[in-house]
Structure 1
Amino acid sequence: MDLVALTDFNLVARHGGFGKAARTTGRPKATLSRRVTELEAALQLRLFERGTRNLKLTEEGRALYERTAALLTELDETAAAITSGAGKPRGRLRISSPLLLSQTAMGKIAAGFALKYPDVRLEITTEDRAVDMIEEGYDLVIRVNPHPDESLVGRAFLHDRLVVVASPELPRPAGDLPAPGVVRGGGNPQTWNVMTSKESAKIRIEPVLVLSSLIMVRDAVRAGVGAARLPISLVSHDLADGTLLHWGDIEGSKIALWALYPSRRLLSARVSAFLDFLKQAFPNGTPDELAAYIGR
């Protein structure tokens, strides 16, 4: 297989068209088209469906791209490391991070990493959805309690748990009386199963505020509007100084943050460096470490 033609095919697949690939890379459009045509002839496969305006990978083209893009990246990194005489991290590192971690800690993490590895161009986007790492070009994704995925491997680097908290001015309801609640998502009445040091109990909640961000939920609870379920790392300082009271832990609410990357790819120096940096930031992966990192 012609490695140059394979490289040009990957450029076109990554950028979604001959014209865009040519403009981005400075390669002639006619050359890219010829190389892809030659590769299709050599493989006796159609790799792209060519419309009047759109260019779309065929099923065979997508399979070839997914299996070769990471390998070509590794070849480039190996060549760069050999010619520079060192294997230190360099180049672009794209990461997808969940909203709450991004809002509370990822800015500090990114700044510390950038200062330690100035040759890495770090790009972090905030996504709570399950992104397609290969299709969207991410090197690493951070996810909360991810579903098993045979195409991804990784490690849990942080653990947390949900607790029910409220302002000291808000009395805890007795019996079956509902408590006003601040919730994320749907606004229907809810029942929360909580554990205290003495017993388990059920708390009925009548939502009075429905918010889309846990940061907003915490701020509303601080103002005394109602009770809420929040990660202990987000409210531990409030609990310590009495700004909020702990009504109990949500049963079965263990939270794990995972750093995931494609198993087909040899782990790049950039990804390895970022994983090591996370380990240094959270050596034991406890909620207290995240709370200390977040600050007040």
Structure 2
Amino acid sequence: MDLLALADFTLVARHGGFGRAARAAYRPKATLSRRVAGLEASLNVRLFERGARELKLTEEGRALYERAGYLLTELEETAAAIASGGTQVRGRMRISVPLLFSQIAMGRLAAEFALRYPDVRLEVTTEDRAVDMIEEGYDLVIRVNPDPDETLVGRPFLRDRLVIVASPALARVDHAPVPAVVRNVAQDDHWSIVDAQGEASMAFDPVLRLSSMIMIRDAVRAGAGAACLPISLVEQDIAAGRLAHWADVPGSDVALWVLYPTRRLVNARVSAFLDFLKAAFPTGAAEELGAFLGT
């Protein structure tokens, strides 16, 4: 495939027409038209629908544009890295992060990384859905207990678990449901727990339903009821006596993974961020995240 023709195609697609692309790039319109026509002929598909007044991407053209733009950027950055010895950490990097981790930790982590690598243009988005890294142009994603995916590789960098906590002022009454702050999604009316007496079931009565773990923690701090929360989120409160640790939740261990596409060479930016996470959380224990949040 002619990479120059591919670059011209993405230029025209980005600007929505040959004339606008020619003016933006100070290139002859006829040259752009000829290059795109040659690309269509080599692929044996039509990339644009050419109307009287507007130019629209065909389905094939849209698919090529979505992939080609990112790949061309990768080629440019790879060439620049090779020219500089392959060790220069620079360029744009996009990361997708789950909601809770972004709320409690990612702002500070992103700031520290940006200060350490000022030539990297870091973009972080918050999404709990499983994004398509290739289609949506992400360099890295962070996910909780991700499903196996043969197109991705990565490693866990943090582990966490759930615990039952409450305000020290809230008393437990044997065999009575405890007032609870829960997420506003369908769930059981009891928690499976492990406490000093062994495995058991703790019934609860939802007195408050909230949509985020941060809100739930704040409500529990205020004495609204007990809650099931990640230990990393409440460890400092337990140590300071603001919350009481009632019990553990068996089988609740989770892992945060950092993932990247297998078919993409790991560039200097990705390698730098992987090393950065390892330095921030050397063992990956939940206590390390709790300590990070408390500093």
CA distance in 1, matches of 2:196, 2:11: 59
8 Å contact 2:179–2:204 — kept in the other structure?
yes
SS of the residue corresponding to residue 171 of structure 1 reads: coil
Q: Which residue of 2 aligns with 1:94?
A: 94
8 Å contact 1:188–1:206 — kept in the other structure?
no
CA distance in 2, matches of 1:29, 1:203: 74
SS of the residue corresponding to residue 153 of structure 1 reads: strand
8 Å contact 1:232–1:287 — kept in the other structure?
yes
SS of the residue corresponding to residue 252 of structure 1 reads: coil
SS of the residue corresponding to residue 249 of structure 2 reads: strand
CA change 1:188–1:120 in 2 (3 A) is closer
Q: Which residue of 2 aligns with 1:157?
A: 157
8 Å contact 2:159–2:253 — kept in the other structure?
yes
Q: Deviations over 1:91-132 (max 9, x none)?
A: 111111112211211122112111211111111122222222
CA change 1:224–1:3 in 2 (3 A) is same
Aligned length: 293
Equivalence map 1:121-140=2 (5 Å): 121-140=121-140
CA change 1:32–1:96 in 2 (3 A) is farther
Q: Please, what TM-score do these two structures have when normalized by structure 2?
A: 0.87
8 Å contact 2:18–2:32 — kept in the other structure?
no
SS of the residue corresponding to residue 193 of structure 1 reads: strand
Q: Which residue of 2 aligns with 1:144?
A: 144
CA change 1:241–1:254 in 2 (3 A) is same
8 Å contact 1:98–1:127 — kept in the other structure?
yes
**Structure 1 residue 241, shift from structure 2 partner:** 2.1
Q: Which residue of 2 aligns with 1:35?
A: 35
SS of the residue corresponding to residue 264 of structure 1 reads: coil
Q: Which residue of 1 aligns with 2:76?
A: 76
Q: Which residue of 1 aligns with 2:199?
A: 200
CA distance in 2, matches of 1:181, 1:29: 68
Equivalence map 1:236-247=2 (5 Å): 236-247=235-246
8 Å contact 1:74–1:266 — kept in the other structure?
no
Q: Which residue of 2 aligns with 1:6?
A: 6
Q: Which residue of 2 aligns with 1:112?
A: 112
Structure ID, larger Rg: 2
5+ residue gaps, structure 1, are none
CA distance in 2, matches of 1:24, 1:222: 60
Equivalence map 1:267-286=2 (5 Å): 267-286=266-285
CA change 1:189–1:75 in 2 (3 A) is closer
Q: Which residue of 1 aligns with 2:63?
A: 62
Q: RMSD between aligned alpha carbons?
A: 3.0
Q: Which residue of 2 aligns with 1:249?
A: 248
5+ residue gaps, structure 2, are none
CA distance in 2, matches of 1:29, 1:249: 69
Indicate the percent of aligned positions where both proteins have the same amino acid.
60
CA distance in 2, matches of 1:179, 1:257: 31
CA distance in 1, matches of 2:42, 2:56: 20
CA distance in 1, matches of 2:81, 2:43: 32
1:209 aligns with 2:203: no
SS of the residue corresponding to residue 235 of structure 1 reads: helix
**Structure 1 residue 280, shift from structure 2 partner:** 0.6
Worse-matched range after superposition: 115-124 or 147-156: 147-156
Q: Please, what TM-score do these two structures have when normalized by structure 1?
A: 0.87
Amino acid at match of 1:183: V
**Structure 1 residue 29, shift from structure 2 partner:** 9.5
Q: Deviations over 1:227-258 (max 9, x none)?
A: 11111011011111221111211221111111
